[in-house]
A and B are shown apart, each in its own frame.
Chain A
Amino acid sequence: MKTANEESYLSISLLNKLVKAKLELDPDLQKLYVKGEISSWKVYPTAIYFSLKDESSVVSCMMWNSSAQYLKFIPKVGDEVLVRASINVYPPRGTYSLLCYSLELYGQGKELLALEELKKKLAAEGLFDPSKKKKIPEFPDKIGFIAGDGSAAEADIIRNSQRRWPLAELYFFPSLVQGKDAPKDLVRALKKAEEYPLDVLIIARGGGSSEDLSAFNDETLTREVAKCPIPTIAAIGHEIDYSLVDLAADLRVSTPTAAAEASTPDSNEIKQMLDGAYERLQEAWESQKEAILAQISNLSNRPFFKNPASMYSDKREEVEDYRKRLNLSIDHIIALDKERIEALSKHLSALNPYGVLSRGYSIATNEKGEILKSVSDVRKGEEVTIRLKDGSLKTEVK
């Protein structure tokens, strides 16, 4: 070490700045994973100040609220935790602390890891395959649901499914949903539900209950849900936190109410649809009726219907014509006959023997009334009757 003059001695400020620069520029010290037990915990408006310790040492820590909002649990003194942090030096005091970005419970970390492993295993087996998801029926007759006895989930499902679709029968299978006996009891309830001819089965955990999803991450239960022949809807986890049962179910929703809605059609919509159908039928019918009426009126305007007389008035004329012609010919025939009769009667009168008398001829008869044609027809003294035009004479032959 070379000797230095007085001017080359560092000020404290400079020293602390130098250390700050050294430590904060070291990449290894900026990406630290540290394990420790929380020994103090103080929340301020913008940040949390705490300390971590092990058997012999302590380190100060702080976490900005912007990071703290992602904490998945409420840490307390005594918790064994894992932090991700970087070194931060405070020059005025020459102290350093850990600026923490994340903080997890140590034990939970192991559990999460195990869960992650299990999830991977079941996924590899195809338990969560979208292709294996059964379709949730649109119009269920029988809805089954597994939930805590007397839980908010039970009430929510009953109220909402009946409000939407009162046609469905509800079957409630109460079960434990948390605690070490919960997985077994849930499997029992599931098996029981499978004995009923259900169209859909809801597995729900009431909102507001403990954060503990562990029962729904149980391997046996998850496998049973995956192979359940009834279409299943799970409403267990939260928006971000999915349980394995959520993943194995045919459908997952965030709340029991959403599960009730997902398993039922809305009867109000159906009623509206029925009203709509009625109107549409009515309209279709009216328009068809109008078309038919238009067609009828079109046809009825044709001459045939408009003036039915026209059809036979022509005929009538024709008949009348014939009739006239017929009458005419009959008159004619009668007239002709009359003429002939007249002519004949004239002719006949010409042949009348008495006709000649008028011209001065006479007819003589003997006493016996015989017409005299020869003188030998009478004897002397015999009375002869002579018939003239206007009377007869009695004479005596001399």
Chain B
Amino acid sequence: MEEKKLTFEEKLNRLAEIVEKVENETLPLEESIKLYEEGNALIKELNLTLKEAEDKIGQYKKIEK
């Protein structure tokens, strides 16, 4: 539930952090697996968010006086 609160930008930053970590650090296998799964989940989520947003193109709110 906590994760739901992350914004797109925060998720993107977290993903960058994960990639950076698994690429440049020697991590215990368990942690690597966890990060790897988390990273892949984030990629999936972010792609989905983008895709869903694209379906809403053309909508906007007009606020008159």
Q: Are B22 and A288 in contact (CB under 8 A)?
A: yes
Q: Measured between alpha carbons, how far is A265 from B32 in the docked complex, in Å?
A: 30
7 cross-chain pairs, A with B, having the tightest CB-CB distances, nearest first: A170-B60, A166-B53, A139-B9, A284-B22, A167-B53, A172-B62, A281-B39
Does A292 touch B at the CB level, under 8 Å?
yes
Question: Would A170 and B61 be within 8 Å (CB), given that A274-B46, A277-B19, A281-B19 are in contact?
Answer: yes
Total A-B contacts with CB atoms under 8 angstroms apart: 83
**Of B22, B32, B46, which contacts A270 at CB under 8 A?**
B46
Residue from B46, B47, B60 whose CB has the most chain A CB atoms within 10 Å: B60
**Contact string against B for A residues 193-205, beta-carbon threshold 8 Å, 1 for contact and 0 otherwise:** 1001000000000
What are 29 contact pairs spanning A and B, CB under 8 A?
A138-B9, A139-B12, A166-B53, A166-B54, A167-B8, A169-B60, A169-B61, A170-B59, A171-B60, A171-B61, A174-B62, A174-B64, A188-B65, A192-B63, A267-B50, A267-B53, A270-B50, A271-B50, A273-B12, A280-B22, A281-B19, A281-B39, A281-B40, A281-B43, A283-B23, A284-B32, A284-B36, A285-B36, A288-B27
Does A102 touch B at the CB level, under 8 Å?
no
Does A173 touch B at the CB level, under 8 Å?
yes
Does A51 touch B at the CB level, under 8 Å?
no
Q: Measured between alpha carbons, how far is A271 from B51 in the docked complex, in Å?
A: 10
Q: Which chain B positions have C-beta within 8 A of A288?
A: 22, 27, 29, 32
Q: Measured between alpha carbons, how far is A193 from B64 in the docked complex, in Å?
A: 10
Q: Are B47 and A274 in contact (CB under 8 A)?
A: yes
Q: Measured between alpha carbons, how far is A192 from B64 in the docked complex, in Å?
A: 9
Q: Which chain A positions have C-beta within 8 A of B56?
A: 166
Number of interface residues of A (CB under 8 A): 32
Question: Would A162 and B57 be within 8 Å (CB), given that A277-B43, A281-B19, A284-B22 are in contact?
Answer: yes
Nearest-neighbour CB distance to chain A for B49, whole angstroms, equals: 7
Q: Which chain B positions have C-beta within 8 A of A280?
A: 19, 22-23
Q: Which chain A positions have C-beta within 8 A of B19?
A: 277, 280-281, 284
Besides the contacts A167-B49, A167-B50, what 15 more A-B pairs have beta carbons closer than 8 Å? A139-B7, A158-B60, A167-B8, A174-B62, A188-B65, A192-B63, A193-B63, A271-B47, A274-B46, A277-B15, A278-B40, A278-B43, A284-B36, A285-B36, A288-B22
Q: Are A172 and B58 in contact (CB under 8 A)?
A: no
| Chain B residue at minimum C-beta to C-beta distance from A275 | B43
Q: Measured between alpha carbons, how far is A193 from B16 in the docked complex, in Å?
A: 34
**Of B23, B43, B57, B65, which contacts A166 at CB under 8 A?**
B57
Nearest-neighbour CB distance to chain B for A53, whole angstroms, equals: 49
Q: Measured between alpha carbons, how far is A190 from B63 in the docked complex, in Å?
A: 11
Q: Measured between alpha carbons, how far is A317 from B5 in the docked complex, in Å?
A: 69
**Contact string against B for A residues 142-182, beta-carbon threshold 8 Å, 1 for contact and 0 otherwise:** 00000000000000001000110011011111100000000
Q: Are B16 and A277 in contact (CB under 8 A)?
A: yes
Q: Which chain A positions have C-beta within 8 A of B16?
A: 277
Question: Would A172 and B22 be within 8 Å (CB), given that A278-B43, A285-B32, A285-B36 are in contact?
Answer: no
Q: Are B39 and A277 in contact (CB under 8 A)?
A: yes
**Of A158, A188, A281, which contacts B22 at CB under 8 A?**
A281
Q: Which chain A positions have C-beta within 8 A of B61?
A: 169-172
Nearest-neighbour CB distance to chain A for B32, whole angstroms, equals: 6
**Contact string against A for B residues 16-50, beta-carbon threshold 8 Å, 1 for contact and 0 otherwise:** 10110011000101001000100110010011011
Nearest-neighbour CB distance to chain A for B11, whole angstroms, equals: 10
Q: Are A139 and B23 in contact (CB under 8 A)?
A: no
Question: Would A173 and B12 be within 8 Å (CB), given that A166-B53, A277-B43, A281-B36 are in contact?
Answer: no
Q: Which chain B positions have C-beta within 8 A of A174?
A: 62, 64
Q: Are A284 and B23 in contact (CB under 8 A)?
A: yes
Q: Are A172 and B63 in contact (CB under 8 A)?
A: yes
Q: Are B8 and A139 in contact (CB under 8 A)?
A: yes
**Of A162, A192, A278, which contacts B65 at CB under 8 A?**
A192
